[in-house]
Amino acid sequence: MKRSLVLRLVLFPLLLCIQSPMRAQDTNWVESTLASMSIEEKVGQLFIADCIATYAHRESESFRLARKWVIKYHVGGFVIAGGTVTDIAVTANALQKISRIPLVFNADLEGGLWFLHPYRWVRGRAPELPRYVRGGGTIFPSAMGIGATGDTTFAYEFGRITARESRAIGIHWTNTPVADVNINPKNPIINTRSFGEDPEQVGGFVAAYVRGLQEGRMIATLKHFPGHGDTEEDTHMKLPVLPFDRNRLERVELIPFRNGIAAGAKAVMTAHIALPAIDPHKRPSTLSRQVITGILRKELNFKGIVITDGMTMQGITDHYSPAEAAVLAIEAGADVILVPADLDAAYNGVLKAVEAGRISPLRLDESVRRILTQKSWVGLHKNRFVEIEHISREVASPASEAIAEAAFNASVTLLRNKGRIIPFSPTKRVHVITITDSPNPSIGDGLMAVLQKEVAAVTLSRFSNETGSETIARATKRMSIADVLVVGVYLSVGSWKGELGFSREIEMFLRNLSRRKQPVVLIAFGDPYVLARVPTTDVQIAAYSGDRTAEEAVARALIGAIEITGKLPVTIPGKYKRGDGLQLSHSQRKGR
């Protein structure tokens, strides 16, 4: 594609400057460290514990807990539960000083370095101050948004920038990319986290993202093995039991994992899903030797780290104790236990299994060696500390933000434009309505920030599933003076949410949109499948993300400031097919 070629030409000199030469891991350090470790230290390496990295005093409860896990349980590392970019770096340095073996810091970076601390200008502050400062790393569209661009260069850049920024603050390992193929529109937990519904297309984006990450010395994790894209249950809440056999997995689910492994992914995360046709014991794949050792290790020839999905999820905790779940995962072939429901019980359960011979010393060393090998690969054996003064040089640079903005622009997918409603003319009076599952006082700010400068008038109403019928009725009256309505529907997947949906009041408001005299622009910010559940309005757009940057990109599309090129990477049942998307050239706006 022309855009892809231009992007590569612009970035190639930059890549030559910033990419460090590939270094092999230090085998001598791995083996000497392994030989020096006690059984207790080896068992501890198998665990990744939760860590709150928000600023806290050294004697605070959160820091004392993290210190205890390092000293008493010798944990291999931590997964970041929250904090600003500088908080994370300071916390990582403090914990690294305590641990004899270098710690690896892990995070879920599905949107980039998303740890933010936004500033919004308020009346009374200096008028010269910026109106908004994100306060964190570079945010990218959801994986499905990247898929909608049709350009794997964006996936590569997503990985490269995420690696560069995350390494700058002390994070070495990300639980991305999602390699699941989202072929079930009712999937309540994968959805926009997937690049799309076509296995080959998903595989291409997965491979590009892995290359970008690992060229920046960031451990990439393919998840959720052997594939979580065709479920209707959230594994945080229950254990899905799927009828798929080996042939089905080969045709659909395994294709992106093969691509990611071929691209060099260093880790794979298991799914808490049961496949009786593969494992007649109906164990979750996380605890299944047939899935991990049989398919992943032997058939796909994966040599890296196998990490479990979070062990606090009900797909595990409803059926197994923390100790037994940890032991079964190691016996199945996993190397790392992510956030056990009870670290003390899980650690001691594995330790007792080693002492009793249930887990052999050779099996334990096998996993610890893999973990140490990856710690060496990211350079922890040479330098485990973050240089705080370098963070502002690496994180959220204008160049990185420009690439992310280009990705957001390219992801906007126009599916309907009856009567050529967009682009808006400068004389239009616009009323924006935002609909969220829970109240959010900043939603719509990105739309407003762009539209206020470009149309005659713009007003805003915020609705959520908690909004009552009287509030909706009052807002509906105010909408009557607008020339056009812009309705943003923000439904995004999340842990322990269950089925995505609307309240009765919101459902009624959406049904009544088709009766409005004004043109209605409806935007799916997040779950694109929502378009199958709402009336067919004059204009329909899929944005795949509800981030402020996504709002700004959509607003630019509405006023004709950008070219619209996105293509739908999934099928919207009864409405649109994969590959649909109207192109709209960047042109002089009406009335100018």
Residues tagged active-site: 236, 309
- Euclidean distance between CA atoms 511 and 33, whole angstroms: 64
CA 518/CA 326 separation, integer angstroms? 58
| Gyration radius of the chain over CA positions | 25
Give 3-state DSSP helix, strand, coil % of the chain, rounded to 5: 45, 15, 40
Task: Classify 278 as helix, strand or coil.
Answer: coil
The two three-digit tokens of residue 429, written as one number? 């009076």
Q: Is the dihedral of CA 341, 345, 346, 349 positive or negative?
A: negative
Token output for 29: 């350090």
Q: What is the largest CA-CA distance in the chain?
A: 80
Residue 329: CA atoms inside 13 Å, Cβ hemisphere, count? 34
- Rounded Cα gap, residues 124 and 214, in angstroms: 46
Question: Residue 21 corresponds to which tokens in the numbers above?
Answer: 């030469």
Q: What are phi and psi of 385, to 5 degrees?
A: -105, 155
Beta carbons within 8 Å of 565's beta carbon, 6+ residues apart: 3, 149, 150, 410, 581, 583
Torsion of CA 435, 437, 442, 444, to 10 degrees: -20
